[in-house]
Amino acid sequence: MELFEFSKYIASVYRQSKNDFKQKITELDVRATQSDLVMFIQDHPGLTQQQIASNMTIDASLLAKDIKLLIDKGWVKRQVNQQDRRAKVITLTATGTELAQKLQKTMTNWWADLFKNNPEIDSDILGHQLELVRRALEERKND
């Protein structure tokens, strides 16, 4: 396989998973991008908006718009950071935590179905390899 094809496959898997995921979460009244944000905040509580933007590789102004929307829906709250009063710490509300759990369950079920229907794909190996790629990219970003 040509190395450039990795990008094609990663992009295709991402788009397909997001398309399927959007269909499954329509009743939750949340867009796929916002669901990614809610699940990220669930996994990384207490980060500032700037840290979230950096860690998720999202434009800070686009993130601010999504955070505002999530606040308006009652899923997220923004509080002053006690160490740096200029920064805002982002956390989930109780309702936001419930939403995150539903989203995570939906995504888990999507992947479980994929692996069940395609037993030739080893989820442990794939997961480990993807984690190694993510770490390498994170280290590269920090250099």
Return the amino acid letter for 24.
K
Residue 129, pLDDT > 80, answer yes
Q: What is the pLDDT of residue 15?
A: 92
How many domains, the chain?
1
Q: What is the pLDDT of residue 12?
A: 94
Task: Give pLDDT tens digits for 30-82.
Answer: 888 899 999 999 999 889 988 999 889 899 899 999 999 999 999 999 988 78
Q: What is the pLDDT of residue 10?
A: 93
Q: Looking up tokens 């794939």, which residue turns up?
A: 126
Task: Give pLDDT tens digits for 1-28.
Answer: 888 899 999 999 999 998 999 888 888 8
Q: What is the pLDDT of residue 88?
A: 85
Q: What is the CATH number of the domain that holds 125?
A: 1.10.10.10
Q: What is the pLDDT of residue 75?
A: 97
Residue 141, pLDDT > 80, answer no
Q: What is the pLDDT of residue 86?
A: 81
Q: Are strands 88-92 and 76-80 parallel, antiparallel or unpaired?
A: antiparallel
Residue 122, pLDDT > 90, answer yes
The boundaries of the domain holding residue 126 are 5-142
